[in-house]
Amino acid sequence: MLGRSQIEELLPMEEALRAVERSFKLKAEGKVIMPSKLYLDLPQYHGDFRAMPAYINGTAGIKWVSVYPNNSNYNLPSVMATIVLSDPNTGCPLAFMDGTYITSVRTGAAGGVAVEYLARKDSTIIGMVGAGIQAKTQLMAIAEVVSKIEEVKVFDLYKEVSQKYVKEMNAKLGLNLRVVETIEEVTEADIVVTTTPSTKPMVMNKHIKPGTHINAIGADAKGKQELEASILLKAKVVVDDVEQASHSGEINVPLAEGLIKIDNIYGTLGEVVAGFKRGRESDKDITIFDSTGLAIQDIVCAQLVYKKAKKRRARESFLELL
């Protein structure tokens, strides 16, 4: 049984980055089993549950995660999750652990991997659209892979949220963060990260200059959309999973409305990581990573935590014998 505090100690961002990178590569190589995410929609309660099973690296597991946007009214996180790992040889449960922190870290790590492979190497200016919990791990991961960050511009519809984020992340990462007043200003950046629950475009085509990389993180369910569809038409669009993104990612609304086609999707991040497809090919390319969150990301991070926890327990048991 592993709680959040233990997982925070056992799962640093730099290790999560490499684990998630491996999970994308293994997926592209056909070495994982990952059924489609199952949704249990409960509109009468203003939320939903998602069951996310996967097999990777010799471990089977499932994440049971809830998304309740109004939970701030109850002083609870909007996303809460539990992960169960099992031995595929016997079906025996190996570990029960908090999945809320893992969900946030692995999503941030996926964004970091995307930046590493798709953003310009000389990127120095980051624009954060949305300043909630997910914006924190996105920036933590980007700070691991971008060699020089000169400025981080932050915009949220609620200015006090932006101010709190800037104060906290300045203290945590020692970067130059500042609050900006408009979408236009925050998107004047080399890397733009969107982490909102919006159901209508916030970032417009006119806001995005050539060479920009966008991590589109917020759209994780049907009807959600943060980017104007015309941006997708002029960009190299990379998804984590084509099927999942098509019904719940940034591309889901433009696809449903016929504004883009599946052919407009360049490929998956796993294909880029594995070397099957090239990432950025020009400093003028606009690249987009459409992240919906994959079960393999959860399970590979949970597996890492489980193995480190077992080693720690064995070491502590040995010391007790001395």
Of 193, 195, 198, 253, the C-alpha closest to 229 is: 253
The answer to whether the beta carbons of residues 116 and 86 sit under 8 Å apart is no
Strand 191-194 and strand 125-129: pairing?
parallel
Residues 55, 35, 275, 105: what is their CA dihedral angle, to the nearest 10 degrees?
Answer: -70
Q: Which residues of the chain have pLDDT under 50?
A: none
* Cα distance between residue 106 and residue 217, in whole Å: 12
The answer to whether the beta carbons of residues 286 and 210 sit under 8 Å apart is yes
* Cα distance between residue 41 and residue 67, in whole Å: 10
User: Residue 56's pLDDT is what?
Assistant: 97
User: Residue 251's pLDDT is what?
Assistant: 97
User: Residue 318's pLDDT is what?
Assistant: 58
Active site residue 200: no
Q: What are phi and psi of 295, to 5 degrees?
A: -60, -35
The answer to whether the beta carbons of residues 46 and 265 sit under 8 Å apart is no
User: Residue 307's pLDDT is what?
Assistant: 96
User: Residue 316's pLDDT is what?
Assistant: 76
314: amino acid identity, one letter: A
User: Residue 319's pLDDT is what?
Assistant: 63
**What contacts 233, CB < 8 A, 6 or more positions away?**
259, 260, 264
Q: What CATH number belongs to 4-102+297-321?
A: 3.30.1780.10
* Cα distance between residue 250 and residue 227, in whole Å: 7
Which CATH number, 3.30.465.10, 3.40.50.720, 3.30.70.20, 3.40.50.2300, labels domain 120-295?
Answer: 3.40.50.720
Domain with CATH 3.30.1780.10 in the chain: 4-102+297-321
Q: What are phi and psi of 91, to 5 degrees?
A: 85, 0
313: amino acid identity, one letter: R
Domain with CATH 3.40.50.720 in the chain: 120-295
User: Residue 72's pLDDT is what?
Assistant: 86
User: Residue 320's pLDDT is what?
Assistant: 63
User: Residue 228's pLDDT is what?
Assistant: 97
Q: Which residue in the list 25, 27, 37, 63 is annotated as catalytic?
A: 63
